[in-house]
Amino acid sequence: MRHVIAIAAVIALSACSKPATSPEDEAGASPAASTPPTAANIAADGKPAPGMYKITTGDGKVRMEEVKADGTYETRADGKVIETGKWEQKSPALYCYTIDGPNPKQACNEEKIENGVWTSKGPEGRTATVERVG
């Protein structure tokens, strides 16, 4: 169940968007600095993957997941950290994660938005809804 929750965040899934720049700033910017995000770091909602997500499992449990720009994530339930690990957004439709622990193994969730609802389907077939909250 936690694997579905670790989406995310999709996940997912951000508050890390760049502020607007002036033409003067852009003139002095290096080509790498002005390169837009690639599909490999864009969540299902079209925004950069890093951010905070509210994940609701199929049985109604709510988790908060912070997907960090450094490639790590942290999942909380009732304010307590219940899982940490590393994430990789391979495409807007594929969010992968590796839970910290003695036998790390990457798993991937299928992400999609239909009729305005963002869902994430884990490797075991369980589905959760995802909402970007920051």
CATH of 51-133, one of 2.60.40.10, 2.40.128.540, 2.40.50.100, 3.40.50.2020: 2.40.128.540
Q: Please compute the mean of the pLDDT values over residues 21-30 and round it to a whole number.
A: 45
82-120: pLDDT as tens digits: 999 999 999 999 999 999 999 999 999 999 999 999 999
Of the two residues 29 and 97, the one the predictor is more confident about is 97
Q: Please compute the mean of the pLDDT values over residues 64-80 and round it to a whole number.
A: 97
Distance, CA of 69 to CA of 67 (rounded, Å) = 7
Count, residues in the chain: 134
Give me the residue spans of the domains in the chain: 51-133
pTM of the model: 0.71
- Pair 15, 51: CB distance under 8 Å: yes
- CA dist 40 → 19, 47, 91 (Å): 21, 11, 5
How high is the pLDDT of residue 38?
A: 53
